[in-house]
Amino acid sequence: MAHIAIPIPTQLGKQDIEIEVTINGQKQALHYRVELFYWEDCGLPQIDRADCLKRILATYDQDWTLYYIGAPTDDFVPITFVKKEDLWLQKSLMFS
């Protein structure tokens, strides 16, 4: 799959990102969401960060799916999600 890489500033809170692209002559709006998840909110010891990520992903809004996990810091991990319907449409346009 082709990728579009756009650096997003790491501000506090959720960032909703909308991008309009043309794929094979068809315009499509892509919806991404970047959120910072803080380790201290997990309530788990530092060693259990993988379990924390699994819990975040399992309980996240079901209209969104994992797109990218950014480089974690000592305090948080940035996670990018994409709307499920947008991801499905991207794949169908690429292979049509």
Q: pLDDT digit string (tens) for 3-23? A: 666 656 556 667 888 888 787
**pLDDT tens-digit readout, 23-81:** 778 788 888 898 889 999 888 666 688 889 999 999 999 999 998 898 898 988 989 89
In the prediction, which pLDDT does 66 show? 92
For position 88, what pLDDT does the model report? 72
Range of the domain at 26: 15-94
Q: What angle do CA 55, 52, 81 make, to 5 degrees?
A: 65
Assigned domain for 90 exists:
yes
pLDDT at 91: 66
pTM, two decimals, is: 0.76
> For the purposes of burial, counting CB atoms within 10 Å of the CB of 32, is it exposed (0-12), middle (13-18) or buried (19 or more)?
buried
Domain total in the chain:
1
Does residue 51 fall inside a structural domain?
yes
Separation CA 6–CA 63 (nearest Å) = 22
Residue 29 covered by a domain: yes
Burial-class residue 3 by CB neighbours within 10 Å (0-12, 13-18, 19+).
Answer: exposed
